[in-house]
Chains A and B, each alone.
Chain A
Amino acid sequence: MLGAILVTLAVVTAVFAPVLAPHDPTELNLGSRLLPPFWYSEANPSYLLGTDQLGRDVLSRLMYGSRVSLIVGICGVAISVVIGVALGLVSGYVGGATDAIISRVLDTFMAIPFILLALAVVGVLGPRHGSGLITLITVLGVTGWVTFARVIRGESLSVKRREFVDSARSIGQTDLQIILRHILPNIVASVIVLATLQIATVIIAESSLSFLGLGVQPPTVTWGLMLSEGRDHLATSWWLATLPGLAITLTVLGVILLGDWLRDILDPRQQT
């Protein structure tokens, strides 16, 4: 329930950021730099959560920041789902040498930490095109497929031994038909649960890369970048680094709770 509320809040903020935000997130106002949030007496009521080192409105920036996190999270995971589910299905269903090769590839990717691989790919790709949003989505999507492939391989291995697959084959359905009509519908629940939880992982990865200066580039607003800038003002304006982190935590928490809840209703076997 809390998960659904947090996720709805994040999505609404992201979609309606231009309407909801009190200020332009990139508008500089050097006259009112480092203003504190509303609970301090020296706060300016038109900047509810204060301003940053360039006088930009923190609340508006937080609202716009949710856009990057959600877009990268959802699009990145969509790419991972396509790659991971396809490879997992083929590996589990076909078996034999194909399975052996795909499994070895999986082992290899498991050995490289997700964030490290993303980091290396971003580094090698070098100079970014535009804001870097497309690069980031592609990199996180292409490196994040491993979880899906591993779980889906296992699931399709067990589904393929079920009787309805034998009966489908006996009435002359092709392998492709069996995969699409009989195996896929049986693993959709797992895919939905995994995808939700992977969105949480990708949002954290995105904010980490942006924090390190390797993600989406300014002037696009991201929570990771806000945090990284706020770090230089810890001693005087602690909220600059605290609030974006809180935004990331609440969003990710919402997604995780939603994922756990989906698992409980869709896929009771996987409960931890």
Chain B
Amino acid sequence: MTRYIFSRLLQMIPPLIGLTLILFVLLRIGGDPVAHLVRPEATQDEIAQVRAAYGFDQPLYKQYFRQLGLILRGDFGDSFRFRTAAMPLVLERLPATLELALASMIVALIIAIPAGILAAVYQNTPIDLFVTTGSTLGRAMPNFWIGIMLILIFSVQLRWLPVSGRLEPFSIVLPAITLGSGIATALARVLRSSMLEVMRQEYMTTAKAKGVGKWTILIRHGVRNALIPFITMLGLQVAWLLGGSVIVEEVFAWPGLGRLLLNAVLVRDLAVVQAGVFVFGFVVMAANLLVDISYAFLDPRIRYR
């Protein structure tokens, strides 16, 4: 098990290096990086000085390794908007985003697990039709629209829940439902089809022949075996969840990393953009690592591969 986790950790290195390369290219396609560091009225001499000070007069590969070294130390430069280092700014906002992501994940599981199982058990009944139709509709609805419609119904019309911010405990309800419902549709769909697959297996018939109750069979033998594809999907949805958080945080004025990043993009605060993208990428990779490790716990066959 330890060996499996270790080898999986090593596999994280190439994409992390890839991520730093993408950031390097990203900064360069925006034009001369020195232009963002000097005052608009700077003289040629001043520009040359800054260029040399940041190593931008060196060959590209040297510039890359210089930047890689800085990134390894967590140094993404200073935010010109906040006049402090970019990385602490990003990390300060990360908990709010993770809190929202976790709450959304819980909402998604509460919806998707019963929906997926019921749709499979009652295949081709009105319940199944309801779940599959809802899931297709959910795929088609942009999450910012779901968010605004929830605000319209629950905050503006019914006045049950706060519109935005993160000051009251109930503030998280609407953003979590918005973000969670989006992944719930994908999760319910996967769970439904893997349950259908599992229910055709012979061990299900064997269990039934032994006289085990219907729901006991479904939970103990069915759901457990249907979990692998479900968890794969859950892992894939982490990237989607964090991408969606940029939009949902903006809709609900949730003070997280997504909103910080969006504002940084709007004013071209490149240090914060880079640090934010790096942290988002890192979180997705870490989540995928957790997914892979949980496979090994769920399915002993994977550990010995």
Once the chains bind, are A235 and B242 in contact (CB under 8 Å)?
Answer: no
Once the chains bind, are A234 and B148 in contact (CB under 8 Å)?
Answer: yes
Which residues in chain A, 229-257, are within 8 Å of chain B measured between CB atoms?
231, 234-235, 238, 241-242, 245, 248-250, 252-253, 256-257
**Which chain A residue shows the least CB distance to B23?**
A120
Once the chains bind, are A245 and B15 in contact (CB under 8 Å)?
Answer: no
Q: How far is the CA of A119 from the CA of B270 in the complex (A)?
A: 12
For B189, the chain A residues whose CB sits under 8 A away are 272
Does A104 sit at the interface, judged by CB under 8 A?
yes
Does A30 sit at the interface, judged by CB under 8 A?
no
Given A108-B15, A252-B140, A124 and B243 touching (CB < 8 A)? no
For B140, the chain A residues whose CB sits under 8 A away are 200, 249-250, 252-253, 256
Does B119 sit at the interface, judged by CB under 8 A?
no
B 136-167 to A, binary, CB cutoff 8 A, 1 in contact else 0: 11011110110011011000100000000000
Given A245-B149, A272-B190, A111 and B239 touching (CB < 8 A)? yes
**Which chain A residue shows the least CB distance to B144?**
A211
Which residues in chain A, 104-129, are within 8 Å of chain B measured between CB atoms?
104-105, 107-117, 119-126
Does B221 sit at the interface, judged by CB under 8 A?
no
Say which one of B26-34, B46-54, B105-113, B123-131 lies at the interface with A.
B26-34
A261 nearest CB across to chain B (Å): 12
Q: How far is the CA of A211 from the CA of B21 in the complex (A)?
A: 29
Given A111-B19, A113-B243, A248-B142, A119 and B262 touching (CB < 8 A)? yes
Does B284 sit at the interface, judged by CB under 8 A?
yes
**Which chain B residue shows the least CB distance to A116?**
B243
Count contacts on A: residues with CB < 8 A to the other chain.
46
For B152, the chain A residues whose CB sits under 8 A away are 234, 238, 241-242
Given A111-B281, A113-B242, A115-B244, A234 and B156 touching (CB < 8 A)? yes
Other-chain residue from A117, A204, A256 in contact with B136 (beta carbon distance below 8 A)? A256
Once the chains bind, are A111 and B243 in contact (CB under 8 Å)?
Answer: no
Q: Specify the main secondary structure of chain B where it touches its partner.
A: helix
Q: How far is the CA of A126 from the CA of B31 in the complex (A)?
A: 10
Given A249-B137, A257-B136, A120 and B277 touching (CB < 8 A)? yes
For A116, the chain B residues whose CB sits under 8 A away are 242-243, 246, 261, 277, 280
Given A121-B26, A124-B30, A126-B30, A207 and B142 touching (CB < 8 A)? yes
For A252, the chain B residues whose CB sits under 8 A away are 139-142
Q: How far is the CA of A112 from the CA of B18 in the complex (A)?
A: 11
**Chain A interfacial positions (CB closer than 8 Å to B):** 104-105, 107-117, 119-126, 200, 204, 207-208, 211-214, 227, 231, 234-235, 238, 241-242, 245, 248-250, 252-253, 256-257, 260, 272
Interface CB pairs A-B, < 8 A, 26: A104-B14, A108-B15, A109-B18, A111-B239, A111-B288, A113-B239, A113-B240, A115-B243, A119-B246, A120-B261, A121-B29, A123-B268, A124-B27, A124-B268, A125-B29, A125-B30, A207-B142, A211-B144, A213-B266, A214-B265, A227-B145, A238-B156, A241-B152, A252-B141, A253-B136, A272-B189
